[in-house]
Each structure stands twice: as structure tokens, then as C-alpha cells.
């Protein structure tokens, strides 16, 4: 595997997902970079809780260290379930009972929030928005936070849609995202602009 393919932390995570545990020299050979460069990236990802190290002893002498993905790392690299998500979404939207359908969507938002909640830090809505923005960035979904002044509530801006194919077919997903952010921030959030309406970005503002 060439360095042109594995040229980011995300790609190194993908490498470990495919191959299983590797040591520094094996990773360096696979991506054709120096061992020092590999160690720098490993240190960064270990600090984020994405990779863990284990010592492997083979006879006398110093043990070899091998690196593998943590559960959190596995979640990041194995989260491309677009087809499954689309199929499940269409089945939910086919439910004729409007009340039941809305309740199910609320439960989906709460379930998503439960998975993320312990990873969100901060006491104020702005602090929690920034923490959420960082978490989404790990999933390669660019968000930013603006405002948070005495005269303006903070705004969470999505610079790319997390569900592009789905949103184009059904804008209900935008409402689910609004409910998700409300759960995670502990404060009501309202969608103020949407790319589907011709706006530059999708924006969610704390009420």
C-alpha cells in the first residue's frame, strides 16, 4: 500500500482495521514513510483513544509493541453503512401512522444522542457545541461554531451534510438532526438555514 493511499490518520486507521495489529516497522513499510512519522501519528491517535498498544514478548530481550484499534477506532473506521441506513429510513417513512412515525424518529434521535453523550464536554451551550464540532470532525464531517455572545446565541454550522443522499430525498432527516443536537446540548436547537434551500451551509442555533 503506497503513501498516496494512506496519507492521513483516517487512512492509517483503515489500514489497521484491514490488517489487524501491526508494529511500527510494519506500518512504516506499508505506507512507505519513516518510523518516526508513524510514531508521531500513533501518539496523536493514542491520545484521542483511537489506537492502543500492547507488548508482545518473544523470548528474551525487550518486548515488541504492536498497535491495534480501540472500540472507538473501530466505530470510526467501520461506520460506512449508507445502504443499510437508507433502507431502514425508507421503512420508517413508509409507516402510515404519523404519530407512531414521529415517535420512532424521536427514539432514533435519542438513541444516537446516547451513543455520543459521554463524549460531549462543556457546561455552556457554546462549549458543548465546540465539543460536538470536534467529535464530528473526527468523523470527517466539518462543523464550526459561531456566536455565543451576550447578544447572540451560539450557532452550529454544518459545512457539509452528514447525510447528503438521504437529505436530498427526505428532509425529515434535518429534523432528526435538530432533535439530536437538542439532546446533546441540553438546550433546544432550531435549524436556521439549510443547503437544500440554497443557503451556503446548514445552521443550527440554540434557542
DSSP, residue by residue, 85-124: HHHHHHHHHT---HHHHHHHHHHHHHHHHHHHHTT---SS
CATH numeric code, 9-77:
1.10.10.10
Residues of the chain with CATH 3.30.1380.20: 82-206
Tallying the residues shown for the chain, one arrives at 207
- Do the beta carbons of residue 43 and residue 37 sit within 8 Å? no
pLDDT at 72: 81
Give the CA angle between residues 190, 203, 76 to the nearest 5°: 105
pLDDT at 7: 47
pLDDT at 8: 65
Question: In whole angstroms, what is the distance from residue 82 CA to residue 88 CA?
Answer: 10
Question: In whole angstroms, what is the distance from residue 200 CA to residue 99 CA?
Answer: 33
Residues of the chain with CATH 1.10.10.10: 9-77
pLDDT at 78: 62
pLDDT at 121: 93
Neighbour tally for 28: CB within 10 Å? 17
Question: In whole angstroms, what is the distance from residue 119 CA to residue 155 CA?
Answer: 20
Give every residue of the chain whose pLDDT is below 70, as ranges: 1-8, 59, 61, 78-82
Please name which of 169, 203, 172 lies closest in space to residue 189, comparing C-alpha atoms.
203
pLDDT at 56: 82
**What SS3 state is found at 100?**
helix
pTM: 0.62
pLDDT at 166: 83
pLDDT at 3: 33
Secondary structure letter of residue 6 according to DSSP: S
- Do the beta carbons of residue 187 and residue 207 sit within 8 Å? yes
CATH numeric code, 82-206:
3.30.1380.20
Amino acid at each position: 500500500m503506497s503513501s498516496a493511499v494512506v496519507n492521513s490518520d483516517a487512512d492509517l486507521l483503515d489500514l489497521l482495521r484491514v490488517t489487524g495489529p501491526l508494529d511500527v516497522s510494519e506500518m512504516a513499510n506499508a505506507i512507505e514513510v519513516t518510523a518516526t512519522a508513524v510514531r508521531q501519528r500513533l501518539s496523536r491517535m493514542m491520545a484521542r483513544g483511537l489506537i492502543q498498544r500492547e507488548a508482545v514478548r518473544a523470548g528474551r530481550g525487550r518486548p515488541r509493541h504492536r498497535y491495534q484499534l480501540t472500540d472507538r477506532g473501530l466505530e470510526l473506521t467501520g461506520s460506512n453503512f449508507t445502504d443499510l441506513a437508507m433502507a431502514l429510513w425508507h421503512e420508517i417513512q413508509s409507516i402510515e401512522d404519523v404519530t407512531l412515525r414521529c415517535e420512532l424518529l424521536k427514539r432514533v434521535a435519542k438513541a444516537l444522542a446516547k451513543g455520543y453523550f459521554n463524549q460531549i464536554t462543556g457546561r455552556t451551550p457554546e462549549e458543548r457545541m465546540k465539543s460536538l464540532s470536534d467529535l464530528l470532525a473526527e468523523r470527517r464531517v466539518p462543523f464550526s461554531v459561531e456566536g455565543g455572545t451576550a447578544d447572540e446565541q451560539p450557532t452550529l454550522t454544518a459545512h457539509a451534510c452528514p447525510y447528503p443522499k438521504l437529505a436530498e430525498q427526505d428532509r425529515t432527516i434535518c429534523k432528526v438532526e435538530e432533535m439530536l443536537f437538542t439532546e446533546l446540548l441540553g438546550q433546544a436547537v432550531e435549524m436556521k438555514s439549510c443547503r437544500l434551500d440554497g443557503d451556503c451551509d446548514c445552521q443550527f442555533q440554540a434557542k
